[in-house]
Amino acid sequence: MSWISNLSRPTVKKVGLSKDIPDNFWDRCSKCGAMLFHSEMTKSHFVCPHCEYHFRLPTHERFELLFDNSQYNLIQLPKVSEDPLHFHDVKKYTDRLKEARKKTKQEEAISVAHGTIGGKRVVMAVFNFDFMGGSMGTAVGQGIITAAKLAEIQKASLILLPASGGARMQEGILSLMQMVRTTIAVQELKKKKIPYITVLTNPTTGGVTASFAMLSDITLAEPGAIIGFAGSRVIEQTIHETLPPDFQKSEYLLNHGMIDQVVHRKDLREKLIQLLAFFN
Amino acid sequence: MHYLDFEENIRLVDEKLAAPNLSESEIKRLNSKLAHLIERAYHRLTPWQKTQIARHEDRPHTLDYIHDLMPDFFELSGDKNFADDKAIIAGLAHFRGQTVMVIGHEKGNSTETRLKHNFGMARPEGYRKAIRLMKLAEQFGFPVITFIDTAGAFPGVDAEARGQGQAIASCIATQVELRVPIIATIIGEGGSGGALALAIGNKVLMLENAIYSVISPEGCASILWKDFKYAKQATRVLKMTAKDLLKFNIIDDIIPEPLGGAHRFKSETIQRVGDAIQKSLDEVNKLSKETLVIQRQTKFLNITSDFHHKKKF
């Protein structure tokens, strides 16, 4: 298999951004307005201690939070040819990619790592919403396919944590096709009896919701995450009505029977350990 | 007949031709003029013009194809769970001697029928009806023939509450593993996930002036240009025409429309689509159940941004 030669040797634990924000730096919670020290936010894994609002958790912190001893191996994802459509709107797609890379210090909107959780082998893929809204183009699709194949080879469980606005417009129809390609990849795991878990984080929408994210064996979500297919503004414009206050939130999906559990970030690792223990 | 903005000259000649008591020579002259004007308007259409044609209200819709190609159509309704969604029409029929399951988006062709079919915008129960009937087709070994023609899945509170995303995902997953042939034809508008949900074919065909895109040009314009009025520009960058999609290996074949478009030459277009479906069906009917699944999956897995290296199964 050629793709496996693209996987880099297991590298580092704790990769990622250095803490260049001083601990005494404080900020305001955009939800409840409480003043928070940065150190406080890091300790609470970016959950507001006052209103429990779940902010976006940087990718490396997500891996550290969930993997045993905060240890994991990042996978180098296969390269795909960029900008197949030579897309430009008010900006060139290639420039948008450059900016996103500079901003996130990541190659693409997805990171894949493997390690253990509660002693069980796990392959985990995490989306970074700061990279072009976590949108799914060819590279992200290939990332998910790679993660699923790695899980199959390692006989590890697959855990995906999407945070995405949906398909990436700048790759046009090729992005739409990632919905099919990722579906093929995760459906294959079912035949192999490999547990596939998604933890839906804020936001999980569009083509991501309408493909691999909703095809998991077990579907968890973080509190208050927006999860849906159509954007709320589009819906409002279509039906000319105000939307219910908890519309498309995790709790709303739970009440409508669409997901298995809403799990607070502080409990997520323990819940995953408990869940993985049910499977061989 | 509804005329598009670039068909103005055609309309004028059509009107003259409709006048009573025309001499034979006059009719001949007008017809040759008409042919010339159609040729001029249609020989090189812009992506925006194709978008207009793809959305043309007189364009043949799923029920027109069913009516002409499958006269013994027996409609099957409902997801046996919540409701029947008429935005997707489905049922059994003989297609040129073979029993098939036909499933397609229906937009309607009058105010009344458009409302009945919700303008071809399906809710979760529509996709769940499709899933149910695809599985029924698999049970009896009937090929599935789909017609794609939708602006997109319905964006509504009820649709979200009942899991629009989950329904579309499951519909895709069903086709990915279905052990009977699937022939998908994009006949008009192929709008995003709502269209894709019926388009996972062993063969994906597309009418010459149909469009197929990740997002509507208006949606793309309002996000990237912050103004939906830039839709025309969006059609240029999105690469949504049949010609583009053939280049990207997204579709297997383009079905040529008569010059003047499917809306002008309905029955001829329908026959051409029927012939193309039959040709594709003849090819995949020979494949075993296992090969059908492998062929379909390989085809989609081989769609990459490296489309210059054309891979064929």
Q: Measured between CB atoms, which of A211, A243, A244 is closest to B169?
A: A211
Q: Using the predicted structure, report yes or no on whether residue B116 has a pLDDT greater than 90.
A: yes
Same domain? A105 vs A200? yes
Task: Say yes or no: ipTM exceeds 0.90.
Answer: yes
Q: What average pLDDT does the segment B110-121 reach?
A: 97
Contact across the interface for A173 and B220, Cβ inside 8 Å: no
pLDDT at B265: 97
Same domain? A47 vs A74? no
Same domain? A145 vs A29? no
Q: Which domain holds residue A186?
A: 57-279
Q: Which of B312, B295, B313, B285 is nearest to B95 (CA)?
A: B285
Q: Using the predicted structure, report yes or no on whether residue B312 has a pLDDT greater than 60.
A: no
- Whether A4 is covered by a domain: the verdict is no
Tell me the nearest-neighbour CA distance from B257 into chain A, angstroms.
22
pLDDT at A20: 52
Using a CB–CB cutoff of 8 Å, tell me whether A1 touches chain B: no
Domains contained in chain A, number: 2
Same domain? A26 vs A95? no
Compute how many other C-beta atoms are within 10 angstroms of the C-beta atom of residue B192. Answer: 29
Containing A96, the helix (H) or strand (E) segment is helix A93-104
User: Which residues from A are below 8 Å from B224, CB to CB?
Assistant: 89-90, 169
Q: Measured between CB atoms, which of A89, A207, A215 is closest to B237?
A: A89
Contact across the interface for A173 and B213, Cβ inside 8 Å: yes
Same domain? A140 vs A176? yes
Contact across the interface for B170 and A174, Cβ inside 8 Å: no
Give exposure, B140-163, as e/b (b: 16+ Cβ within 10 Å).
eebbbbbbbbbbbbbbbbebbbbb
DSSP at B286? T
Compute how many other C-beta atoms are within 10 angstroms of the C-beta atom of residue B242. Answer: 26
Same domain? A122 vs A250? yes
Rounded to whole angstroms, the Cα distance separating A235 from B157 reads: 7
Containing A160, the helix (H) or strand (E) segment is strand A157-161
B149-177 per-position pLDDT tens digit:
999 999 999 999 999 999 999 999 999 99
Same domain? A104 vs A210? yes
Same domain? A34 vs A95? no
Contact across the interface for B303 and A234, Cβ inside 8 Å: no
What's the mean pLDDT when you consider all of chain B?
96
Contact across the interface for A184 and B220, Cβ inside 8 Å: no
pLDDT category at B308 given cuts 50, 70, 90 is: low
Same domain? A270 vs A213? yes
User: Which residues from B are below 8 Å from A209, CB to CB?
Assistant: 165-166, 169
Contact across the interface for B159 and A230, Cβ inside 8 Å: yes
- Whether A131 is covered by a domain: the verdict is yes
Q: Is the dihedral of CA B22, B26, B32, B35 positive or negative?
A: negative
CA B190 to chain centre: 6
Rounded to whole angstroms, the Cα distance separating A89 from A93 reads: 8
Phi, psi of A224, rounded to the nearest 5 degrees: 70, 5
DSSP at A54? B
In order of their start, the domains of chain B are 5-42 (no CATH), 47-309 (3.90.226.10)
User: Which residues from B are below 8 Å from A252, CB to CB?
Assistant: 161
User: Which residues from A are below 8 Å from B306, CB to CB?
Assistant: 80-81, 84
B positions 239-278 inside 8 Å of A (CB): 239-240, 244-245, 248, 250
- Whether A14 is covered by a domain: the verdict is no
- Whether A193 is covered by a domain: the verdict is yes
Q: Which residue has the tokens 């949108």?
A: A135
Decide: pTM greater than 0.90.
yes
Domain boundary among A35, A55, A75: A55
A positions 219-238 inside 8 Å of B (CB): 227-231, 234-235, 238
User: Which residues from A are below 8 Å from B157, CB to CB?
Assistant: 235, 239, 241, 243-244, 247
Spatial contact of B249 and B307, defined as CB atoms under 8 Å apart: yes
Q: Measured between CB atoms, which of A176, A215, A257 is closest to B173?
A: A215
A positions 3-42 inside 8 Å of B (CB): none
Segments in chain A below pLDDT 70: 1-25
Same domain? A195 vs A227? yes
- Whether A141 is covered by a domain: the verdict is yes
- Whether A127 is covered by a domain: the verdict is yes
Spatial contact of B143 and A238, defined as CB atoms under 8 Å apart: no
Rounded to whole angstroms, the Cα distance separating A77 from A140 reads: 9
Same domain? A119 vs A48? no
Contact across the interface for A229 and B193, Cβ inside 8 Å: yes
Q: Measured between CB atoms, which of B155, B193, B297 is closest to A207?
A: B193
Same domain? A61 vs A46? no
Q: What average pLDDT does the segment B289-300 reach?
A: 98
Q: Which amino acid is at A249?
A: K
B21-42 per-position pLDDT tens digit:
899 999 999 999 999 999 999 9
Tell me the nearest-neighbour CA distance from B222 into chain A, angstroms.
11
Domain boundary among A55, A76, A100: A55
How much of chain A, in percent, has pLDDT values that exceed 90? 78
- Whether A12 is covered by a domain: the verdict is no
Rounded to whole angstroms, the Cα distance separating B301 from B282 reads: 23
- CATH code (residue A90): 3.90.226.10
pLDDT at A24: 62
- Whether A11 is covered by a domain: the verdict is no
Contact across the interface for B165 and A177, Cβ inside 8 Å: no
Spatial contact of B159 and B120, defined as CB atoms under 8 Å apart: no
B239-280 per-position pLDDT tens digit:
999 999 999 999 999 999 999 999 999 999 999 999 999 999
Contact across the interface for A247 and B157, Cβ inside 8 Å: yes
B169-207 per-position pLDDT tens digit:
999 999 999 999 999 999 999 999 999 999 999 999 999
